Chains A and B, each alone.
Chain A
Amino acid sequence: DAGITQSPRHKVTETGTPVTLRCHQTENHRYMYWYRQDPGHGLRLIHYSYGVKDTDKGEVSDGYSVSRSKTEDFLLTLESATSSQTSVYFCASSIAGGDTQYFGPGTRLTVL
């Protein structure tokens, strides 16, 4: 299995504060993804990266930004957290676009 870690694993924050979630992979995968998982919605893509400094928006990107300065790290930032961003966030990586994605353990974020 690909080595993908996420930090923190749990976070509680207040509305209006910025939050950064980190994803780290040790497999030298080119592609990395951020998803949110909510009941009844499955996984929805927030942003993805197809290389260092190359990122693009997914279907639910409003209120989120990402950065990828190194192959192994992909950061997700909530610029000003809102209660609607309470969710479980998953990072994933893949060798090639469209192929198997390897997932991290998730970060449970609660915005009060």
Chain B
Amino acid sequence: AQSVTQLDSQVPVFEEAPVELRCNYSSSVSVYLFWYVQYPNQGLQLLLKYLSGSTLVKGINGFEAEFNKSQTSFHLRKPSVHISDTAEYFCAVSDRGTYKYIFGTGTRLKVLA
């Protein structure tokens, strides 16, 4: 069965420091991978996605993620965070065959001044 694990429920980090939010998935088939961001009292919006091709994917707001097939990971990174990056981040996986879509439980990023 397909699953997504975001081990860190909360990540505090100081402004201008780098951050990595971890995502691991388990699937026996090929997958598409996504990161979404949710600001307070809003719906989710796409940060970036991996469908095929280069394993390093760049998204909006300076975020990037790297697909590692051998480690079944898709960690999200930003070299220097801002206060405005404070939000909840969700990793998601979809099965290329069935299109079944699974979200992780989310990581709350809090950027401190």
Contacts and interface: CB of A to CB of B under 8 A. Distances in A.
Contact of A90 (B43, B94, B106): B43
A99 B44 contact: no
B49 A100 contact: yes
Interface string A39-65: 011111100000000000000000000
Interface stretch (B11-19, B71-79, B95-103): B95-103
Contacts of A96: 99
Q: How large is the interface on B (under 10, 10 to 19, 20 to 34, 35 or more residues)?
A: 20 to 34
Contacts of B44: 43, 90, 92, 101, 103
Contacts of B34: 100
Contacts of A103: 43-45
A97 B99 CA distance: 5
Contacts of B32: 98-99
Contact of B90 (A4, A33, A43, A105): A43
Contacts of A1: 45
Contacts of A40: 9, 105
Interface residues of A, number: 23
Contacts of A92: 43-44
B104 A42 contact: yes
B96 A42 contact: no
B29 to A, nearest CB: 11
B101 A98 contact: yes
B110 to A, nearest CB: 16
Contacts of B96: 98
Interface of B: 9, 32, 34, 41-46, 49, 51, 90, 94-96, 99-101, 103-106
9 contacts: A35-B103, A40-B105, A98-B32, A100-B34, A101-B101, A103-B44, A103-B45, A105-B42, A106-B43
Interface of A: 1, 4, 33, 35, 40-45, 90, 92, 96-106
